[in-house]
Structure 1
């Protein structure tokens, strides 16, 4: 199967489901798939997967590590359980736009007790002008698949695609973290990429920069080549497992090997490389910048360095700031439509 395999399309529109229409904010990141429907806390699924051969039984699955089955018999296991197979695939080294459909399926839990419903999706991507049409083409329409053994029948009615990072900016404004005057530079540091948006006081993006590489994966790759780790392991180190270790005490998988004592040697040049690039790009605007808003799933790696710096604000729960903001943006848009 290729990642572009389509879901089976219905020949006629589905009957209106008694469960109604659901709104889902989806931030399909290189490290985590984040999603939020307004209930409880946003959720995340590790963005790693394994395509099961037809003769291979799946290991146990759960909402945090779902098993997706397509009408053509293809089975894809997402999340941490994918590490229990050999040769799992990492989104961080692939084109995640091509995986939009599978990512949506992984994040669709039952709605009001039903697996048949209509859906409005609010998604984000680093470069909407480049990828919006491809994402919409994959998602709009009727989808039939299985998730964790349950049959789903979902009609995606609409797909709005926003700039990645602007959800976090919108959420930060709601929290009072953005000054009323001046420019804000949003710095969104993710697993595979990092990006910046220069936003004026009216919330309009007036300049931006998307770095295809340079996120936490680059830091993890640097650490994975360090002889202090590879010698202790007795073999090469996997950057993706190092990335997991960033959230688990800087240890390598279930070993007790840690790079914490010498992390700073790799972290310092990575950190400086990002912010020197930011200052260089926006140098003409710097006198008018009143806030640097730092967000994204890898923010925890540098949060301590930014404490006490007057211009800097670090999002709380930064992993989910963008998806929270996307959901609130969807509610604002729906409110505007009903009050016109």
Structure 2
């Protein structure tokens, strides 16, 4: 090859090399993706759903791990959260492995909104050194008028933390807040469980609270009642003091473990002890107390009520008592009904779900 040919080839190669200051070949800056999440921070479980797959739940208890102590094993269902100040919180069932864990059911769950959000944000599997994204949140609370200001101040903006050792940088751009229980009503509409006329009473029985909303056929709230206490924790507390259980244990039972037992055959953890034979001693007055209160409040509207919609994570306790009653509909998977209804569904998919 002649020297002229060599110079021509070299020049040709140089023209094909990307110049860093050339606007035509600049590598685009990758913007952080945007996610949407429905979050129902309950007293018993933290429920969340991103619109895909099935909703997930994390037991709503935690333990603040001291700096000088190693945490026990963590996972997506029992995550370890680390804040910028170094404080660490272990959520979920693994928190039972520490002493003196904290129970959301005896606290104000609104005050814990930020920590509950961190617990429910799972990492993108493609994330390497940093999980970074924008977030649109859809949350519910028993009384939005009282708590929406606190919720927005905690949730809006930039959040930096570690979840299970993975750094997160999350920017919450939008927080939509709804009354707790309205998500269940909306989901029941998709399933065809709501009558086309008349009033519906939504009965949402949770771990710490129970809530009723009187809805008309257009979905407007006509009346409502929020009981701060009286949910399954009150029932569990009553059972925990019964001598038929405490004498066998040698101490007063933990109401939180009794609550867990409501979903596992009414057994007290792995002790082999059960209250199933005398459960009705406590369940009957608890059940009657709820519905007598409902009847007293909504007596003027009862003639127009065409449906009682029973939902919430503790509604399984009374399902058998409602079987065969035409006015009553119990939500399928009631634990997740509210969070399913919180997540926005486009009209096409909503119609498809309704007419399935």
On whether the aligned pair clears a TM of 0.5, the verdict is: yes
Q: What TM-score, normalized by structure 1, do the two folds share? A: 0.92
Larger radius of gyration: 2
Which residue among 58, 76, 82 is the counterpart of 2:71? Answer: 58
After superposition, the C-alpha distances for 1:28-61 in whole angstroms (9 at most, x for unaligned) are 0000000000111000000000001110110000
Distance 1:309 1:19 in 2: 51
Alignment partner, residue 201 of structure 2: 185
Distance 1:118 1:155 in 2: 5
CA contact (8 A) 1:25 1:36 kept: yes
Deviation of residue 64 (structure 1)?
A: 0.2
2:344 counterpart SS class: helix
Which residue among 146, 171, 185 is the counterpart of 1:169? Answer: 185
CA contact (8 A) 1:192 1:217 kept: yes
Alignment partner, residue 109 of structure 1: 122
Q: What is the 5 A alignment of 1:174-323?
A: 174-323=190-339
Which residue among 44, 47, 58 is the counterpart of 1:31? Answer: 44
After superposition, the C-alpha distances for 1:155-203 in whole angstroms (9 at most, x for unaligned) are 0001011000000000000111000000000000000000000000100
Gaps of 5+ in 1: 1-14, 336-340
Check if 1:44 corresponds to 2:57. yes
Which residue among 68, 71, 77 is the counterpart of 2:81? Answer: 68
Deviation of residue 113 (structure 1)?
A: 2.7
Alignment partner, residue 4 of structure 2: none
In structure 2, relative to structure 1, the CA distance for the partners of 1:16 and 1:200 (3 Å cut) is: farther
CA contact (8 A) 1:16 1:117 kept: no
Deviation of residue 111 (structure 1)?
A: 3.5
Check if 1:128 corresponds to 2:141. no
After superposition, the C-alpha distances for 1:116-145 in whole angstroms (9 at most, x for unaligned) are 100000000000010011001000000000
Q: For the aligned residues, what is the CA RMSD?
A: 1.4
Gaps of 5+ in 2: 1-27, 351-356
Distance 1:71 1:328 in 2: 32
Once structures 1 and 2 are overlaid, which stretch shifts more, 18-27 or 31-40? 18-27
How many residues align? The count is 318
